[in-house]
Amino acid sequence: MELKGKVAIVTGAGRGIGRETALKLAKAGAKLVLADIMKNTIEEVKNEIEKIGQEALAIQMDVSKWEDARTMVDRIMEGFGRIDILVNNAGISQRGERGVHLKVLDVEDSVWDTIIGVNLKGVFNCSKAVMPFMISQRSGKIVNIGSTAGLTGEFSSAPYCASKAGVLCLTKVLARELGQYNINVNAVAPGLILTEMHANTSSEIIEESQKKTPLGRHGRPVDIARTVLFLVSEDILITGQTIVVDGGKTMH
Would you name the residues annotated as active-site residues?
160
What Å distances lie between residue 220 and 14, 55, 85, 95, 103, CA to CA? 16, 25, 22, 20, 27
DSSP class per residue in 54-104: --EEEEE--TT-HHHHHHHHHHHHHHTS---EEEE--------GGGPPPPG
85-88 vs 140-145, strand pairing mode: parallel
DSSP class per residue in 190-205: E--B-SGGGTTS-HHH
Distance CA 228, CA 234 (A): 12
